[in-house]
Copies of this chain bind each other. A is one copy, B any other.
Amino acid sequence: MTMFRIGQLAKLLNVSTDTLRYYEQQGLLAASERSAAGYRLYDEQAVERMRFIVRAKEVGFNLKDIQELLSIKIEKQMHSCEEVKTLTLQKRDWVREKIAELSMFERSLTLLASQCCGGDEPANACSILTALEDLDGTHQ
């Protein structure tokens, strides 16, 4: 089993060692074990967990959100399927809302780009606000 030291994991996932220690402190990612000298050692599972955290961050989840997502596990004895399912679907709906909002932006930006000739002349006719207002009219 390959174990990573903090610097190696940091390099692998393009974060700082400080960030990894901060996440540990925040209860997001503990080192799998410590070496004799007290160095943090991370296994593949920890790497996967960290990959998840990074990805979740990238799409706009904050650390509290991520903790909640990570804690979604089915504990058949402790919680009913219904509870878990409700939490999961709530999160999913939140994600769907975000997607819908982003899609509106995507349309705005695409419309703006299409209205722009893309040539050398001053961009007098190009206005992102106009494009957005146009969308506002049709969507709200």
Q: Report which A residues bind B (CB closer than 8 A).
A: 48-49, 51-52, 55-56, 58-60, 69-70, 72-85, 88-89, 91-92, 95-96, 98-99, 101-106, 109-110, 112-113, 116-130, 132-133, 136
CB contact between A116 and one of B81, B96, B101, B103 (< 8 Å): that residue: B81
B99 and A113 contacting across the interface, CB-CB below 8 Å: no
Complex contacts, A133 vs chain B, CB 8 Å: 48
Complex contacts, A127 vs chain B, CB 8 Å: 70, 72-74, 76
Distance, CA A76 to CA B78, complexed state (A): 60
Complex contacts, A58 vs chain B, CB 8 Å: 98, 101
CB contact between A70 and one of B98, B104, B106, B129 (< 8 Å): that residue: B129
